[in-house]
Every structure is written in C-alpha cells, then in structure tokens.
Amino acid sequence: MTADWPNWGEDVITKLYTATDTGFDSAFDAFVASSATDGDISVNHTPTSREDLKTAIGQDIDPTSTVTFSDAVTVPQASISSPFYTNGADFLRGYVL
C-alpha cells in the first residue's frame, strides 16, 4: 500500500471522529482492518479487541467537531525489503497509539 502519510492518517481519523451514526461503521472499517484480531490491536500498550476499540471511539464521535493535527510529519519510506517493515498507513490500520 502506498499512502501519503500524514494525509492518509489525517483523512481517515477526521472521517472517523466526525462521522454520523450511519457513517461510523465504514469510517471505522477504513481505520482498523476487519481482519484485525484481539492480539493485533493495542491502546496505550494494552491489548484490546476490535469491538471494544470501536465502542470506545464510537462514544467520541461528533459530526460537528473539528479535528486538528499539529506538527504532523512524513517519514521517508524504507528502501530495504524486510518482512518486519511496515509503512505508516499499514501500521496505523492495526494499531492505535
């Protein structure tokens, strides 16, 4: 996946937190892969289930809110091939820091 991070992250997170009740499910699915298992998701270094994360974020959505990103930076993509390498977009789809 080639994504322009931080633009991808900003767009997905903004859609997630400003979604309407009817748009929240699709916004969440764009943020966290549907294939994510309980061991794949961690919030503040604490494992959580996809459904628990969805419930927690769902309590904070507000279609009238404004989401602001301060000091977002782009990290250059690695030039090596490694089974352990992941780009920022793939990382964010599975983990919320």
Q: Which position has the higher pLDDT, 97 or 19?
A: 19
Average pLDDT on 89-97 reads 42
Residue 97 tokens, joined: 């820091």
Helix (H, G, I), strand (E, B) or coil at 46: strand
Q: Which position has the higher pLDDT, 13 or 39?
A: 13
Closest CA to 54 of 86, 78, 32: 32
pLDDT band at 8 (very low <50, low <70, confident <90, very high): confident
The pair phi, psi for residue 15, each rounded to 5°, is -60, -35
Per-residue pLDDT tens digits for 19-78: 998 899 999 998 898 888 877 888 888 888 999 999 999 998 999 988 888 877 766 665
pTM over cut 0.75? no
